[in-house]
A and B are shown apart, each in its own frame.
Chain A
Amino acid sequence: MAGKTLYDKLWDDHLVKQRDDGSALIYIDRQLLHEVTSPQAFEGLRLAGRKPWRLDANLATPDHNVPTTDRERGVEGIVDPVSRIQVETLDKNCDEFGILEFKIKDQRQGIVHVIGPEQGATLPGMSIVCGDSHTSTHGAFGCLAHGIGTSEVEHVLATQCLVQQKMKNMLVKVNGKLGPGVTGKDVVLAIIGKIGTAGGTGYAIEFGGEAIRDLSMEARMTICNMSIEAGARVGMVAVDQTTIDYVKDRPFAPKGDMRDKAIEYWKTLHSDEDAVFDKVVELDGSAIQPQVSWGTSPEMVSAVGGNVPDPEAEADPIKREGIVRALKYMGLQPNMSIGDIKLDRVFIGSCTNSRIEDLREVAKVVKGRKVSPSLKQAMVVPGSGLVKAQAEQEGLDKIFIEAGLEWRDPGCSMCLAMNADKLGQGEHCASTSNRNFEGRQGFGGRTHLVSPAMAAAAAIHGHFVDVREMMN
């Protein structure tokens, strides 16, 4: 019999019941909650007279709607009354049901997918859900983690379980070593460019290979975070010493004997040598270049030295139509150089790229340089209050401010523009976020997805440049 994949092991360890109809009950170890996708779930519990099954499995924080300025005023500082009601509703629900919440003025507040790992609330081998598609981030720890809808948030609150069908196994193997200046973000954009935004639909993806093994936890989180942009709800990386070292001493992580016991188990969280995957995709890591998205889908990417595509060269009529539509929305011409795209704003942040390592990368590029006067705005939004404090302790904030970058308070911010941070109509933005959909960062806004280092380089020049040329 063939060995098990990491996904098979995680599935088996969380299986409560296999039903005859092919569906299964899967136990959930951790649920993360935020203000946007939880209010209707709590209301559903109330209407049905149900109580949460296990309070200590839940952790909540407001992130999507919070402002990134004026935070000392707390909830009162949220100018938009509709946003404020949503944050207040989360506070009320967590207080009423007894769920631990890092509220807006708590230093531990931040983007759910940043604070889970930061607190050790994300531990290897856990099953983790959240009403947010970027929950795949936590797969970087060898977790079975994925986004769910609000009905399922309610289901997990009430039963600590989810009804699931087992997915297929895919291995994405990135061989060799990444070149200097090439980051986790470039790797995942290159993967999406190769397999497409539906390439992973129906699969749980495990990212492996030498290039992945060499990456830090932050970079692995960036890659797993964007699995959903390749269509896969679940993205994972096997546990190794890098994982175990990262988790050690986090507030929610086990201590003493319990930690030793946990580590023993965590070390088993990798695919067996003889495991069989339904699909294997291989990439040469050394050939990956810094990436820039030019269109309105994350698969519409190019190497920084490349050109915007010509729809005439696309044989598939549906894809051709997609390119035509994207170029029109983005205001770009076929065959123009990526470097000639003029930028209006730069956004560095989001659950994809707002961790300390990301901010250090930005600081390295902008140190001693100035943001281009042609830009209207360039902002850095840390992923959590603790990331912010760490960055300030390292003096990164001073480097940013000196260079002309705005240094903000933590939240989702301009990744989806539910707070006051948004693009104006027709504006181009170099963004370290995860989605370049039409209107994502503001009505009529035009998003270009890049790594933090590439965003920093673009901020200095006002257009895209190859960050590797600035590294000497």
Chain B
Amino acid sequence: MRAFTQHKGVVAPMDRSNVDTDMIIPKQFLKSIKRSGFGPNLFDELRYLDEGKPDQDCSQRPINPDFVLNQDRYKASSILLARRNFGCGSSREHAPWALEDFGFRVIIAPSFADIFYNNCFKNGLLPIVLDEEKVDQLFAEVKAEEGYQLSVDLEAKTVTTPSGQVFNFEVDDFRRHCLLKGLDDIGVTLEDAELIQSYEESRRKTAPWLFSRGA
């Protein structure tokens, strides 16, 4: 996994609440057996005017000029500013894959859905929770100033605005550690292989039906 330490980038405002993972990446693109290439279909139904199909050349499709990521000023954005309950619905990891593949590294919102939040960390994508009031302020600033950028520092757990205002955010230590180092967390877990084995041995004694499959 790509490590995340600091990032500075253009901010795009996604001004609607309850953005679900069906919206982030519609189901027809979930048929891929790969982990990459979802970027052109990120927000497909909002971004294009026609119905998207897998393996299609998206450069030829009619785009929705009103959609935020189709506006020139946001085309190179790498930080997504969003509203409440971002990423709700399906557990599809294709949603963070699509956001990452498009070029996003950070998503800022007042709240995220649990499974989506967790999936982001597995993919070098940093979800940041800020108070609604601060998110409101950022929406106003982004819309007012073309090329508006934020600086994010995961080590210091801060978001800094162009005027130098600093917002602190919380993230739990294990996730932060893995993201800072770009760690493969399966490798970390396997360091405890003996513990897992001894747990299993004790469960085999106390709850043998969990290992029997009907025998």
Contact = CB atoms under 8 A, between A and B. Distances in A.
Interface stretch (B81-89, B100-108, B145-153): B81-89
B16 A325 contact: yes
Given A158-B190, A161-B189, 5 more contacts: A151-B122, A163-B185, A231-B85, A254-B209, A261-B209
A314 interface: no
Given A21-B172, A151-B119, A254 B114 contact: no
B40 interface: no
Interface in A207-235: 228, 231-233
Interface residues of B, number: 65
Given A27-B196, A149-B115, A21 B23 contact: no
Given A21-B177, A161-B189, A258-B209, A418 B27 contact: yes
Contacts of B45: 438-439, 443
B200 A27 contact: yes
A149 B33 contact: no
A155 interface: yes
B32 to A, nearest CB: 8
Contacts of B164: none
B123 interface: yes
A417 B173 CA distance: 39
Interface string B84-99: 1100111111001000
Contact of A439 (B22, B122, B174): B22
A133 B22 contact: no
B47 to A, nearest CB: 12
B119 to A, nearest CB: 4
B214 A251 contact: yes
Given A29-B210, A126-B210, A149 B91 contact: yes
Contact of B111 (A36, A56, A201): A201
A198 B113 contact: yes
A202 interface: yes
B122 to A, nearest CB: 4
Contacts of B31: 36, 65, 80, 82-83, 85-86, 418
Interface string A130-174: 011101000000000011111110110011110101000000000
Contact of B33 (A39, A147, A228, A232): A39
A259 B89 contact: no
A352 interface: no
B38 to A, nearest CB: 11
Contacts of B156: none
B138 to A, nearest CB: 15
Contacts of B26: 439, 443
A335 interface: no
B188 to A, nearest CB: 8
Nearest to A154: B186
Contacts of A253: 209, 214
A202 B189 contact: no
Contacts of A151: 93, 119, 122-123
Given A83-B31, A198-B88, A318-B84, A440 B196 contact: no
A125 B207 CA distance: 10
B143 interface: no
A262 B207 contact: yes
A169 B97 CA distance: 31
Contacts of A255: 214-215
A254 B214 contact: yes
A82 B214 contact: no
Interface of B: 16-18, 20, 22-23, 26-28, 30-35, 45, 51, 54-55, 83-85, 88-93, 96, 111-115, 118-119, 122-123, 172-175, 177, 184-186, 188-190, 192-193, 195-196, 199-200, 203, 207-215
Contacts of A250: 214
A56 B51 contact: no
Contacts of B113: 198, 201, 231
A36 B30 contact: yes
A16 interface: yes
A265 B185 contact: no
Interface string A109-145: 0000000000011010110000111010000000000
A321 B139 CA distance: 16
Nearest to B203: A27
B22 A437 contact: yes
Given A148-B91, A255-B214, A233 B209 contact: no
A89 interface: yes
B214 A165 contact: no
Nearest to A150: B93
B214 A17 contact: no
A439 B119 CA distance: 23
Given A16-B192, A21-B177, A258-B208, A318 B83 contact: yes
Given A198-B84, A252-B213, A418-B28, A322 B16 contact: yes
